[in-house]
Amino acid sequence: MVQREENGIAYVSSVWPLEEARPTLICIHGAGGSHVLWQGQVEGLAGKVNTVAVDLPGHGKSEGNGMRSIEDYARVVAEFTRAIHAPLPVPCGLSMGGAIVQQLLLDHPDVCEAGILIGTGARLRVMPVILKTIEQNFDGYIDSFLSFAASEKTDPERLRAISEATARGRPEVALDDFKACDAFDVMERLPSIQAPVLVITSEEDKLTPPKYGAFLEEKIPTASRTHIQDAGHLVPAEKPDEVNQAILDFLAGKPNWTYTR
Ligand code: COA
C-alpha cells in the first residue's frame, strides 16, 4: 500500500504504478470521513484490481477546505482521476461518496467505466438533529457516531480506526458535507445513467435505508443490487469480504478486463 498525493488530494493506492488493463476503483468516503473507511478494500482487493482511496479536500491528509456541493466534489474527483491516469476508472462511494459517484456518472462519464453506489441514495435529506449535534456538540456527535452508523452486531474494535479518523476531522467540514448531502437530489436524472452500476445496500442501514438503494436499482437502467445482512451504514468496513466479493462479481461482467477474481 502506498500513500501519495495529486492535485492536493492525498490518497492511498494498493499498488503503484497502477496496473494497466485492470479496473481502478476510486473509493470515496462519506461526510466528515477519510480514506481509512476503505482499508478492507485497499488490502482485500490487492492483486485483483487497482484500488485508490482518496481523502476529499479538507479531509484526512488532504489540503484546503471542504466543499459545499456534491457537484464541486465530483468535479475535483473527476480532475484527480484524469490526473493519475487511472486505467478503467470505476468510482465507488459510500453515502456522500455515493452521491459524488452519481454526479460523476451523470456529469463526468469519461471517468466512469462503471460506478459502485454503497449505502447511498439519489436524495440524501439529513435529520436536523445530526446537523445540530455537529454544530453544537461535535464530541457528542463522535460519541454517538457508531451507534447510528454501524450495526450492533459489528465488533466496535473493527471500526476503531474509522472512529478515530472521524474524530480528527474538522467539525465545520463535516457540517458542510452534511449540508451538501441535504441539498443533493438527482432522483429525476437517474434514468439517463448509461454506465454499468452496482448498488450495495445493508439490512441495518439507518442513515440510508435499503429503500434508497431499491430506488436506485429501479431507476438506473444499468443497475444491479447486492443486499448485505447484519451490517449497517459502514458496510465496507463492517463486512469487507462480502463487499469485496460483490465488487469482483460485478466487475467480472466486463469480460475484456484482465484481473484475477
Ligand atoms: N430514495 C428513495 N426514497 C427516498 C429517498 C431516496 N434517496 N429519500 C427520501 N425518500 C422518500 C422517503 O422515504 C419518503 O417516503 P415516504 O413518504 O413513503 O415515507 C419521501 O421520500 C420523503 O422523504 P424525505 O425527502 O427524506 O423527507 P422527510 O421530511 O420525510 O424526512 C428526514 C426527512 C431527514 C427525516 C429523512 O430524510 C431521513 O430520515 N433521512 C435519513 C437519515 C439521515 O439523516 N441520513 C443522512 C444521509 S447523509
Q: Give the pLDDT confidence of 229-239 residue by residue, as tens digits.
A: 999 999 999 99
8: left (phi over 0), alpha (psi -120 to 50) or beta: left
**Ligand 1 pocket: which of 102, 125, 132 to mutate (most atoms within 8 A of CB):** 125
Residues lining ligand 1, CB < 6 A? 31, 95, 121-127, 130, 181, 207-208, 211-212, 215
Please tell me the distance from the alpha carbon of residue 60 to that of residue 108, in angstroms, as a whole number: 25
pTM, to two decimals:
0.97
Q: How confident is the model at residue 259 (pLDDT cuts 50, 70, 90)?
A: low
Examine the pLDDT at 115 and tell me if it is beyond 90: yes
Residue of minimum CA distance from atom 24 in ligand 1: 125
First to last CA, the chain: 19
Hey, is 61 helix, strand or coil?
coil
Hey, is 2 helix, strand or coil?
strand
pLDDT tens for 188-200 read 999 999 999 999 9
Please tell me the distance from the alpha carbon of residue 245 to that of residue 250, in angstroms, as a whole number: 8
How many other C-beta atoms can be found within 10 angstroms of the C-beta atom of residue 143?
Answer: 13
Q: Report the relative pairing of strands 2-6 and 115-118 from DSSP bridges.
A: unpaired
The enclosing H or E element of 24 equals strand 24-28
How many other C-beta atoms can be found within 10 angstroms of the C-beta atom of residue 156?
Answer: 11
Multiple choice CATH, 2-251, 3.40.190.10, 3.40.50.1820, 3.40.50.1220, 3.20.20.150: 3.40.50.1820
Examine the pLDDT at 255 and tell me if it is beyond 60: no
Residue of minimum CA distance from atom 46 in ligand 1: 126
Q: How confident is the model at residue 253 (pLDDT cuts 50, 70, 90)?
A: confident
Please tell me the distance from the alpha carbon of residue 211 to that of residue 105, in angstroms, as a whole number: 21
Cβ–Cβ under 8 Å, residues 121 and 212: yes
Q: Tell me, what amino acid is at 176?
A: D
Residue of minimum CA distance from atom 34 in ligand 1: 127
Quick one: which atom of ligand 1 is closest to the CA of 120? Answer: 7
**In this structure, what C-alpha cell is assigned to residue 206?**
439507518
Quick one: which atom of ligand 1 is closest to the CA of 125? Answer: 37
pLDDT tens for 120-179 read 999 999 999 999 999 999 999 999 999 999 999 999 999 999 999 999 999 999 999 999
Taking the alpha carbons of 100, 103, 105, 111 in that order, is the dihedral positive or negative?
negative
> Distance, CA 179 to ligand 1 centroid (Å)?
15
The enclosing H or E element of 252 equals none
pLDDT tens for 76-109 read 999 999 999 999 999 999 999 999 999 999 999 9
Examine the pLDDT at 57 and tell me if it is beyond 70: yes
Please tell me the distance from the alpha carbon of residue 96 to that of residue 30, in angstroms, as a whole number: 4
> Distance, CA 152 to ligand 1 centroid (Å)?
23
pLDDT tens for 27-48 read 999 999 999 999 999 999 999 9
Examine the pLDDT at 260 and tell me if it is beyond 50: no
Examine the pLDDT at 21 and tell me if it is beyond 90: no
Quick one: which atom of ligand 1 is closest to the CA of 96? Answer: 48
Domain ranges, ordered by start, for the chain: 2-251
**In this structure, what C-alpha cell is assigned to residue 192?**
439517463
Residue of minimum CA distance from atom 9 in ligand 1: 123
Residue of minimum CA distance from atom 16 in ligand 1: 211
